[in-house]
Amino acid sequence: MSNAPQCPSSVGHEPASPGLATTGRAYWSSLDELAQTNEFKEFAQREFPAFASEMLASDRRTFLKLMGASVALAGAAATVPGCRRPDHRILAYSKDPEHVIPGRPLYIASAMPLPGGGCEGVLVETHTGRPTKIEGNPLHFINRGTTSVRAQASILDLYDPDRVPGILDVQNITCVTRKSDSVGEDGLPERIASGWHEFDAYINNAFHRFDAADSNGAGLFFLVGKASSPTRDAMRSRILA
């Protein structure tokens, strides 16, 4: 039979050989382990590192409160309509679009207008058509890869939970006083969800009086934001024609 140490349960307790490997050589992580000093033994038996004191009861309660609040906020963020994809039926592409691979980002070069005029070149990271990040375009001759705070924050507007998801019918509002007989909880005129069919019917009735040749569009206003869109300029020219 081999002279190698046998299982302690069958031949008794084998004397401890700290650091002894199967090759017969001994290895130590430090000289204290080799000398088996009291400091090393205390360090090996201690559960927590040195100078790590146990938390007081009040600290533990505070920690649990913070963790509970973090979990609650994470759950709320996951249910915010503006931060999640809309629920709809998934259909496969009849013809796969070029360069669109699910799970991989697609970068699109674009430009954003500046408040004082001009523009800055940006690279928009998209995932299956949804923008997720904006960075500067290093090939653009104005900003050369840098971005403004406005450009970085603009991506949040797309996922704003307070963004209007569709057409709203504002009840009994007047453009002068901005008062309404029907007021919502926020103090603003009551807004009722509507659709394109209702909008077309309203436009046909409300805009009929502007069709007269002598009206010249008097009293018709469009409230739009400042933009340098060629499409918007073309629509404006058609309306004023």
187: pLDDT strictly greater than 60: no
Mean pLDDT throughout 183-205?
69
196: pLDDT strictly greater than 70: yes
Position 97 scores a pLDDT of 80
Of the candidate ranges 16-30, 71-85, 133-147, 207-221, the one whose mean pLDDT is the lowest: 71-85
pLDDT, averaged across the chain: 72
Mean pLDDT throughout 46-65?
62
Pairing label, strands 119-127, 168-170? unpaired
- In angstroms, rounded to a whole number, what is the distance separating the alpha carbons of residues 65 and 209? 62
Grouping H, G, I as helix, E, B as strand and the rest as coil, residue 168 is strand
pLDDT in tens, 26-41: 777 778 887 888 888 8
Ordered DSSP codes for 66-130: HHHHHHHHHHHHHH-GGGSPPP------SSPPTT--TTS-EEEEEEEE-TTS-EEEEEEEEETTE
Mean pLDDT throughout 145-149?
87
174: pLDDT strictly greater than 50: no
Residue 75 one-letter amino acid: G
Q: First and final CA of the chain: distance in angstroms?
A: 108
- In angstroms, rounded to a whole number, what is the distance separating the alpha carbons of residues 192 and 181? 14
163: pLDDT strictly greater than 70: yes
Structural domains in the chain, CATH included, are 106-157 (2.20.25), 166-213 (no CATH)
Mean pLDDT throughout 31-58?
69
178: pLDDT strictly greater than 50: no
Pairing label, strands 191-193, 168-170? antiparallel
Q: What's the Rg (C-alpha) of the chain?
A: 35
- In angstroms, rounded to a whole number, what is the distance separating the alpha carbons of residues 193 and 171? 11
